Amino acid sequence: MNGAESLVRALVADGVDVCFTNPGTSEMHFVSALDRVPGMRCVLGLFEGVVTGAADGYWRIADRPASTLLHLGPGLANGLANLHNAKKAHSGIVNIVGEHGSAHVALDAPLTSDIEGIARPMSNWVRTSRSASDVARDGRHAVAQARRAPGHIATLILPADTAWGEVDPAAQVGAPPEVAPASAASPDAVVRAARALASAREVPTLLLVGGNALREGALANAGRIAAATGCRLMSEFAAGRVQRGAGRVVAPRVPYVVEAALEALAPFRRIVLAGARVPVAFFAYPGKPGRLVAPDCEIVTLADFDQDPAGALDALVRELGAQAHAPAGVAERVPRDRRGALPTGAVTPEGVGHVLGALLPENAIVVDEAVTSSRGFGPPTATAGPHDWLTSTGGSIGFGLPTATGAAIAAPERKVLALEGDGSAMYTLQSLWTIARESLDVCAVIFANRAYRILHGEFVAVGGGQPGPRATDMLSLDRPALDWVALARGMGVEASQATDLESFATQLARAMSRRGPALIELVL
């Protein structure tokens, strides 16, 4: 048995049974081991950003890590943007990155790089195996680090000679390292939060939730707290996974646009944080604040994101004596026959939202990178069947299609709907090939506005005035226009184009009613 085989066996033994891969020469012994050792599903991505984004989506739905297999420093570098998103989402991932054989590194061959230096900014834990006998033990430590609450990026660098080096099959690597549970909120923090919320009817108070406080049970507790105290409830704008839909408590997102966020947060003199951070703007803007709460707003932390916010809300319900309260803000279940006719005519964000709300299947997974187009989708989809909604937490574009890929592999029995801007989709359109190859039940809706539409607004917001011809050219996706139907079909995905709400509803209904890959180009 060689080091690579010992690593695969260790990963499978510790519950890592999916590997998203884009290997090269240095990883061939690991590829060979994956071929020989049963228990690992291997999923090829044609670009490393697909691989790392899929691992992010897998964690968000499965609540356990997948592994990636990346080729040397440049391969890892290609995957960093979606590792950035995954780190911000607190997703657990085990990256296996090949390295030259130890003696070969000193020769400074063309692909030689500082892999540890590349890995550290987007990893919580980095280690290079030093011998074949260390590999399995290092792999088990990587899995334990990835599982550590709330989820971490663990990067294990595997020099080729440690992969091909022989290991005594009888050697014992010991039990897997213990993974400590998330720390509970302190009793003092629970008492302080309860006191702050008890006066919410006199002092306007917001309960702001994030992390695992956005799961169904925790949101129900937040709703009980709102019913008992009169506080308002909101969620962070960027959330890794929100369980929403009919029968679940609605926690409206803090708006993205600075002016809208300031207006939404201005009434509150006190904010209690449960797994969330104080809201800040995505960017700095001349003459606008970076911190979005009122200057005199009191901040009370119930639980940090790296603790157990869901458990903290449960403790807070008991402290407030709110167990018997029915949760406030539960989305009404509206039967299909009471929803009325679907909207018709020209495509608008509001119309699209109503179509989605009417046609979204129960237990669907929505991956949202529609950026500007999806900001109004919240209210009309709140009464759809229960579903999960995943958003980009790090702002690095090219998140949607890979994350949908990983989510579909984590939950093959569930329909996945990817809402994707055309500019963002071009970063990782290779995902479509993987979706087709794996026959994943993913429908992608590409919002084709032929532009980096968000940047038109940002240009004005930062004080750039109105974009002139050259600036407009840098923000536009025309000459030629992207043909998403052709692009999708070229990668094996059935595709169609919609130009109005009627055709969109017809095509979406068809895609939702049957399994398998599909893409709808929605021209705006």
pLDDT digits (tens, 9 = 90+) for 363-400: 999 999 998 888 889 999 999 999 999 999 999 999 99
User: What is the pLDDT at residue 176?
Assistant: 83
The reply to whether 420 falls in a domain is yes
- Whether residue 379 is found in the same domain as residue 343: yes
Give me the residues of the chain with pLDDT under 50, please.
Answer: none
Domain span including residue 192? 187-320
User: What is the pLDDT at residue 97?
Assistant: 98
Last residue of some domain: 164, 179, 196?
A: 164
- Whether residue 208 is found in the same domain as residue 303: yes
How many folded domains does the chain comprise?
Answer: 3
Distances 399 to 176, 434, 521 between C-alpha atoms, Å: 32, 15, 18
- Whether residue 367 is found in the same domain as residue 509: yes
The reply to whether 325 falls in a domain is no
- Whether residue 62 is found in the same domain as residue 152: yes
State the DSSP string of 461-473: HTT--S--HHHHH
The reply to whether 497 falls in a domain is yes
- Whether residue 386 is found in the same domain as residue 493: yes
User: What is the pLDDT at residue 180?
Assistant: 87
Q: What is the dihedral of CA 21, 27, 30, 34, to 10 degrees?
A: 30
The reply to whether 411 falls in a domain is yes
User: What is the pLDDT at residue 117?
Assistant: 98
The reply to whether 172 falls in a domain is no
The reply to whether 329 falls in a domain is no
Last residue of some domain: 274, 291, 320?
A: 320
- Whether residue 505 is found in the same domain as residue 365: yes
CATH of the domain at 241: 3.40.50.1220
- Whether residue 197 is found in the same domain as residue 280: yes
Query: d(Cα 47, Cα 61) in Å, to the nearest integer?
Result: 22
* DSSP 8-state code for residue 202: T
Distances 440 to 51, 124, 155, 409 between C-alpha atoms, Å: 15, 30, 27, 7
User: What is the pLDDT at residue 311?
Assistant: 98
Query: d(Cα 490, Cα 430) in Å, to the nearest integer?
Result: 11
The reply to whether 181 falls in a domain is no
pLDDT digits (tens, 9 = 90+) for 35-94: 999 999 999 999 999 999 999 999 999 999 999 999 999 999 999 999 999 999 999 999
Query: d(Cα 400, Cα 337) in Å, to the nearest integer?
Result: 32
State the DSSP string of 71-131: -HHHHHHHTHHHHHHHHHTT--EEEEEEE--HHHHTTT-TT---HHHHHGGG-SEEEE--S
Q: How is residue 318 written in tokens?
A: 């008991």
- Whether residue 380 is found in the same domain as residue 470: yes
User: What is the pLDDT at residue 170?
Assistant: 81
User: What is the pLDDT at residue 516?
Assistant: 98
- Whether residue 311 is found in the same domain as residue 366: no
Query: d(Cα 279, Cα 282) in Å, to the nearest integer?
Result: 9
- Whether residue 30 is found in the same domain as residue 126: yes
Q: Order the strands of the 270-274 sheet from edge to edge.
A: 232-235, 205-209, 270-274, 298-303
Q: Which residues pair with 155 in a beta bridge?
A: 95, 126
Closest CA to 239 of 206, 271, 276: 276
- Whether residue 155 is found in the same domain as residue 218: no
CATH of the domain at 513: 3.40.50.970
Q: Which residues pair with 126 in a beta bridge?
A: 155
- Whether residue 343 is found in the same domain as residue 288: no
Report the phi/psi class of residue 424: left, alpha or beta, with left for phi > 0 and alpha for psi in -120 to 50.
alpha
The reply to whether 154 falls in a domain is yes
| Cβ(129)–Cβ(3) below 8 Å | yes
